[in-house]
Amino acid sequence: METKELLAKIRHLEIKAKGLTRHIFSGEYHSAFKGRGMTFSEVRDYHFGDEVRTIDWNVTARFNDPYVKVFDEERELAVMLIIDVSGSEDFGTGEKTKKDIALELTAVLAFSAISNNDKVGVIFVSDKIEKYIAPGKGRNHALFILREFIELKPESKGTNLNEALKFFRNTQKKRSIAFVMSDFIDENDFIEGLKVSRKKHDMVAIRLYDQSEETLPSVGIIQLFNAETGQTTWVNSNSAAAKETHSKNFKEFEEKLFKEFKRSGIDYTSISTDGDYIKELIQLFQNR
């Protein structure tokens, strides 16, 4: 990609993401993702209804009137984006691929984080760690993340989310919020990795899929290519039986996946390449 084209794409992502952050996501993001704790701010006069445990007995004794401690939420968080960049993420039968949606989500989440003075970092993963960007603050850091994502050329096409989850746990010693963006087509037991990560961190799963993975389009005999394994399969997409099997497999996989997420206490949402990710993100935030 030419430098001029790259800059234009990044600028477009920034404008779109900032607009969504400012008008839609700012309140939802702040409410959905709490800070690490509360910090002391000041003392004030006791008001009827204040909790007794908030009374500052030292100040109360000094002035012979009841005073209470006021605390502010410690807002600063580290937001980690764990992004699947394996071969299957390049798939898309409409205007956008799964990778395109992941890029737009990255922009929105990164600018939501920095607008709340939170840090944001990224782990790009295939079946190995492709690139790590440590959490940082500010507009330039968010733009750097987007540029690296756009220019990234993964060395591997396979998927092993556990590699990213282990790396995440080893590098992020303080509690963080992690958004895992993937189609979750992974033969490894990543659910166990998510469970282990959740013991310390706040984990959110965002499943990306293409509409043709849910409903097989009627276009005759087609060749299905697995970008991760290199294998191909021929299917008659006009066949009612083939369509039914295709849809059934998709639904069974989705139901099993989301059942595991729910059982593990992991927030999740599912976003199609032709769907409205704004609506899905708002719903995700509000559900928290």
- SS3 label, residue 275: coil
- pLDDT tens for the chain, 288 residues long, are 667 788 888 888 888 888 877 655 666 666 666 555 555 567 888 887 787 888 889 888 988 889 888 765 555 678 999 999 999 898 888 899 999 999 999 999 999 888 888 899 999 999 999 999 999 999 999 999 999 999 999 999 999 999 999 999 999 988 899 999 999 999 899 999 999 999 999 999 999 999 888 877 777 776 665 656 666 677 766 777 877 887 888 899 999 999 999 999 999 999 999 988 888 888 888 777
Domain that holds residue 169: 3-31+77-210+265-287
Please give the pLDDT value at position 260: 94
Whether residues 64 and 126 fall in one domain: no
Task: Give pTM, 2 decimals.
Answer: 0.78
Pair (117, 142) in one structural domain: yes
Q: Is the dihedral of CA 23, 102, 150, 174 positive or negative?
A: positive
Residue 149 and residue 280 share a domain = yes
C-alpha 56/C-alpha 73 separation (Å) is 19
| Residues 166, 56 share a domain | no
Q: Could you tell me if residue 239 is inside a domain?
A: no
Quote the pLDDT of residue 199.
Answer: 92
Q: Tokens 């697995």 correspond to what residue?
A: 226
Kindly report the CATH number assigned to the domain that includes residue 190.
3.40.50.410
Q: CA–CA separation, 258 vs 79, rounded Å?
A: 23
Cα 178 to Cα 143, 172, 224, 252, 266, distances in angstroms: 19, 10, 32, 26, 11
Do 21 and 141 lie in one domain? The reply is yes
Q: What is the pLDDT of residue 9?
A: 85
Place of tokens 């999740």: 268
Q: Is residue 22 part of a domain?
A: yes
If one counts the domains in the chain, the total is 2
